[in-house]
Structure 1
Amino acid sequence: MTNDEVLAEFRAAGALLEGHFVLTSGLHSPRYLQCARVLMDPARAARLCAVLAQKVKAKIGGRIDLVASPAMGGVVVGYEMARQLGVPSIFFERVEGKLSLRRGFTIDKGARVLMVEDIVTTGLSSRECIAGIHEEGGETVGAACLIDRSGGKADLGTPLSALASVEIPTYPADELPPDLAALPAVKPGSRGLK
């Protein structure tokens, strides 16, 4: 599946938005990829994650015991990736500012864990989740996401398999281009819906 084919899936789902968006990272962008819209169709989610699972298997080449994702954005894609790989799925939730396991989730010491996200922009949530995996005694064998919107620039400290890689510009709030600054900002992510 090519980048264009993946983005066509996002467009078909109404998930590639244009405007002025404040991302979870606090950066501003003229485009937003709303993975929840893509993943709300189980057939589309299965189709996309099947291709991503094949990429992950080829890249990692070894056993995967568990999929772990950061909530909220990674929960559905993490579950579907785990289903495709035939392993359990868990997720980390933000508790007092830190990603932590709850709901009785645990990671066996030495478990080979794949960290799965929906979108990687700066990699902050992914790195936090990977740190949590290590704190719980797991070994992160790789990371996967539907879209790497950093264009390959985000460093997660582990190999990243992305279904598509695109570079969408992001800007700090005090460095907005005039055309973006002229639009009202919307924060559509899971850490503050506006």
Structure 2
Amino acid sequence: GGGSSSGGGGSSSGGGASAPAPGPQQPSRPAPGPAPAPAPAPAPAPSGNAAQVAISFAKAQLGESYILGGAGPNVWDCSGLVMMAYGAAGIDVGSHSVSSQYNTMQARGRLVPFSQRQAGDIIFWNDGSGFYHDAISLGGNTIIAAPKPGDVVKIQGLWGGSDIMPYVGRPG
């Protein structure tokens, strides 16, 4: 005896062939069915989970120092924090510069009126001569940001009045 085997339990994946392999090699077939084409970028909609991942990442950096050019792991500037927070969610928001991040959101059709901002949206500041700051909205008039030299990553109220851009970025 000894030829019977009881069910699964084995650790090999894929198992052996249930029938002998045919003599001549079968022509390889394409993957079953056509592979779905990458979906086009959706229209701006709440980024949901990605926004929560980005916010959680940013909150994990609270109290860490602002250093111009910082992008972690323990020092940050504004656009470095935004870039790495969304990077943690698997989303590219543009390079390590506020203007790049705004232009990336614009090029992808991801700008939403400031009045419709929600948690996770990127708020941008521009004084007329150029972009100089961005931050992640926590909803309402609260943001998380790496504000300025000598400061730390923190949660703060919106500031900057007329320098705040009329559109926010909604990565997704």
Answer whether TM exceeds 0.5 for this pair.
no
The structure that has the greater radius of gyration is 2
TM bracket, shorter-chain basis: under 0.3
- Normalized against structure 1, the TM-score is what? 0.25
- Normalized against structure 2, the TM-score is what? 0.27
